[in-house]
């Protein structure tokens, strides 16, 4: 009887051991599949990312695309490790945000440029603006400054000579039409077109609102704009193999072709 119990016990140990080995094997196999969580703005970033997703799938990498409708959460999520990377901003915004929030984030490279535009449902040309016209611009430092520089380029205002990419309203030294400039959250700007004479809107929010920058904007930045949209990761992860493959996919010929054919100049490849 004792011998039977010993033999039975030995068999049970062997069975349990076998299951344990099989379980570890299954877990190891699963861990070999890589997933990148990429935070993006819905348009055009998510649309561009979907092209990269198909490319990465062929390399055994799953690209999980997470959409955001603001310019704050994507950077915080990367810093907290909730996202592998994000793709929605340009370098001046990244530097300003990272400094303000004491974050350690790094650009991995640029993908495209979205020329900022001036839109209106009340005038067809900037020359039609009347004295005291209402103007809406983004309220974050970099995009607000960018909007002011665009207004200056169009001859509507004049800024202090030392006003840079983060130019502020208080740096306006000449406003011949006495424009009433209001700062609002960038995502809200398309929604206030009925209440303002003109609004300076980022292309991603313009596209998301059904506006066609090439046809609907009454003025736009030149294609030599320095505001290239970049892929950002937590500092230290920029040389990660999966991240490098993500950048390779986002700057592939397939993505360039998609950008050229889909946006027809409203979005310009930067590679």
Multiple choice CATH, 35-114+227-269, 3.40.50.720, 2.60.40.10, 3.40.50.150, 3.40.190.10: 3.40.190.10
The angle at the Cα of 163, spanning 157 to 168, to the nearest 5 degrees, equals 70
Please tell me whether the overall predicted TM-score, pTM, comes out greater than 0.85 for this model: no
Q: Which residues pair with 184 in a beta bridge?
A: 138
CA distances from 241 to 13, 52, 59 (A): 41, 15, 12
User: Which CATH number is 117-220 given?
Assistant: 3.40.190.10
**H or E element: which one contains 245?**
helix 241-250
**ω into residue 29 within 30 of 0, thus cis?**
no
What three-state secondary structure class fits 62?
Answer: strand
**pLDDT at position 211, please?**
95
Q: Is the pLDDT of residue 159 over 70?
A: yes
Question: 67 forms bridges with which residues in the sheet?
Answer: 40
Gap between the Cα atoms of 75 and 122, Å rounded: 36
For 163-172, the pLDDT digits (tens) are 988 899 999 9
With 50 as the cut, is the pLDDT of residue 255 above it? yes
Mean pLDDT of 247-258: 98
When pLDDT is averaged across residues 153-159 and rounded to a whole number, the result is 97
Give the mean model confidence (pLDDT) for residues 2-23.
Answer: 38
Q: Residue 129: which H helix or E strand, with range?
A: none
pLDDT tens, residue by residue, 13-24: 333 333 332 333
List where CATH 3.40.190.10 sits in the chain: 35-114+227-269, 117-220
CA distance 187 to 191: 8
Neighbours of 215 (CB within 10 A): 8
- Nearest to 63, CA basis, from 85, 80, 41: 85
Helix (H) or strand (E) holding 65: strand 61-67
């Amino acid at each position: 009887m004792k011998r039977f119990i010993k033999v039975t016990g030995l068999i049970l140990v062997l069975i349990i051991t076998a299951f344990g080995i099989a379980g570890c094997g299954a877990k190891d196999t699963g861990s070999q599949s890589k997933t990148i969580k990429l935070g993006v703005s819905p348009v055009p970033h998510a649309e561009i990312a979907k092209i990269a997703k198909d490319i990465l799938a062929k390399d055994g990498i799953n690209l999980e695309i997470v959409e955001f409708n603001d310019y704050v959460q994507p950077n915080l999520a990367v810093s907290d490790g909730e996202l592998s990377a994000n793709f929605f901003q340009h370098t001046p915004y990244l530097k300003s945000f990272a400094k303000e929030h004491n974050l350690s984030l790094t650009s991995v490279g640029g993908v495209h440029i979205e020329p900022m535009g001036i839109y209106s449902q009340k005038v067809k040309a900037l020359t039609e603006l009347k004295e005291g016209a209402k103007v809406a611009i983004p309220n974050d430092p970099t995009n607000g400054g960018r909007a002011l520089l665009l207004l200056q380029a169009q001859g509507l205002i004049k800024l202090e000579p030392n006003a840079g990419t983060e130019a502020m309203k208080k740096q306006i030294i000449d406003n011949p039409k006495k424009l009433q400039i209001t700062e609002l959250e960038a995502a809200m700007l398309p929604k206030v077109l009925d209440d303002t004479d003109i609004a300076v809107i980022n292309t991603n929010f313009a596209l998301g609102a059904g506006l066609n920058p090439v046809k609907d904007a009454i003025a736009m930045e030149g294609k030599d704009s320095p505001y290239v949209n970049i892929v950002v990761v937590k500092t230290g992860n920029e040389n990660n193999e999966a991240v490098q493959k993500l950048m390779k996919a986002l700057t592939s010929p397939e993505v360039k072709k998609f950008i050229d054919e889909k946006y027809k100049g409203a979005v310009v490849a930067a590679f």
